[in-house]
């Protein structure tokens, strides 16, 4: 298992955004400080690129470069949704998000036309439906699939609404809805971890096995062994927080936790 301090956990996710001239620094991800997060994936890159684009501190050329980053991230995110989510789970949310990512590939052209307003409306509608369905579903795997779609649709919706010149109150409402959606994902879809004391070991040996299962069904396990007489660790101890993160690499819980602190920044 990976271990160590979480130093600027979402720094990699913002590397491209900061490279285009911004100065905003990422907030620490919503995880304990004793974990190491995996490299930022397309969902996190998409959300942070949208965040940076909307803060208004970029030059026109930087905006164009950041849009290219968003387009590439959205395309990769759309593909990864299909790769990591069972086709029969939350198919509408995943399919609609995939369709929006395909349309987003033409974003630079649609920004100059009325098509932008249609795209913004479709993206806002999809985000609203996804959020409603997420709150309504009780199946963790389906909720995780919808949560993944949310992490694709909301950044594109916020970008389109901003560029289309929606009233600031509408933009603020969309941002608040996004934050509340991420908070719900973090609260509901945390991996579930269990521990079991290994049987048939010497009386002076304490062996404990841990397993963490993410909302999408992926699981990771590890174990620790301690000599109770000497207090010496023969293996471990297991970092259960790290085990949670490792199990959730393809789960919307990990993405939401990485994005949420920065999105809450005024």
Structure tokens at 71: 């387009």
* pLDDT greater than 70 at residue 22: no
Determine the Cα–Cα distance for residues 127 and 63; give it in Å rounded to an integer. 24
Give the pLDDT confidence of 86-101 residue by residue, as tens digits: 656 778 888 899 999 9
Determine the Cα–Cα distance for residues 169 and 103; give it in Å rounded to an integer. 26
Determine the Cα–Cα distance for residues 171 and 192; give it in Å rounded to an integer. 35
* pLDDT greater than 90 at residue 66: no
Give the pLDDT confidence of 197-239 residue by residue, as tens digits: 988 888 889 999 999 999 999 999 999 999 989 999 999 899 9
pLDDT computed for residue 170 by the predictor = 95
* pLDDT greater than 60 at residue 28: no
Helix (H) or strand (E) holding 162: helix 140-163
In angstroms, how far is the first alpha carbon of the chain from the final one?
35
Parallel, antiparallel or unpaired: strands 233-235 and 219-227? antiparallel
Q: 238-249: string of b/e by CB count within 10 Å (b at 16+)?
A: bbbbbbbbbbbb
Q: pLDDT-based confidence at 3, cuts 50/70/90? A: very low
Distance, CA of 41 to chain centre:
8
Whether residue 28 is preceded by a cis peptide bond, meaning omega within 30 degrees of 0, is no
**Mean pLDDT (whole number) for 46-75:** 82
Give the pLDDT confidence of 99-124 residue by residue, as tens digits: 999 999 999 899 889 999 999 999 99
Task: Enter the pTM of the model.
Answer: 0.82
Q: pLDDT-based confidence at 188, cuts 50/70/90? A: very high
Residue 86 makes CB contacts below 8 A (sequence gap 6+) with 141, 145
Strand-pair partners of 151: none
Q: pLDDT-based confidence at 33, cuts 50/70/90? A: confident
């Amino acid at each position: 298992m990976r271990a160590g301090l979480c130093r600027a956990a979402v720094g990699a996710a913002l590397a491209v955004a900061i490279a285009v001239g911004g100065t905003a620094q990422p907030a620490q991800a919503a995880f304990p400080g004793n974990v190491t997060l995996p490299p930022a994936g397309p969902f996190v890159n998409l959300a942070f690129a949208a965040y940076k684009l909307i803060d208004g501190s970029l030059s026109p050329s930087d905006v164009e470069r950041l849009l290219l980053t968003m387009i590439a991230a959205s395309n990769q995110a759309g593909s990864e949704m299909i790769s990591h989510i069972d086709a029969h789970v939350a198919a509408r949310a995943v399919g609609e998000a995939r369709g929006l990512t395909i349309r987003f590939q033409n974003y630079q052209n649609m920004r100059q036309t009325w098509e932008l307003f249609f795209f913004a409306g479709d993206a806002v509608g999809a985000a609203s439906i996804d959020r409603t369905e997420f709150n309504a579903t009780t199946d963790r795997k389906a909720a995780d699939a919808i949560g993944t779609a949310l992490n694709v649709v909301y950044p594109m919706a916020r970008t389109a609404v901003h560029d289309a010149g929606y009233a600031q109150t509408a933009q603020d409402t969309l941002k608040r809805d996004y934050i509340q959606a991420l908070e719900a994902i973090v609260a509901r879809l945390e991996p579930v971890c269990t521990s079991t004391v290994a049987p048939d070991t010497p009386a002076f040996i304490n062996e404990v096995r841990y397993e963490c299962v993410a909302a999408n069904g992926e699981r990771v396990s590890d174990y620790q062994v301690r000599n109770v007489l000497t207090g010496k660790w023969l293996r471990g101890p297991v970092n259960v927080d790290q085990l949670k993160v490792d199990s959730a690499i393809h789960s919307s819980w990990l993405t939401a936790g990485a994005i949420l602190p920065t999105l809450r920044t005024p």
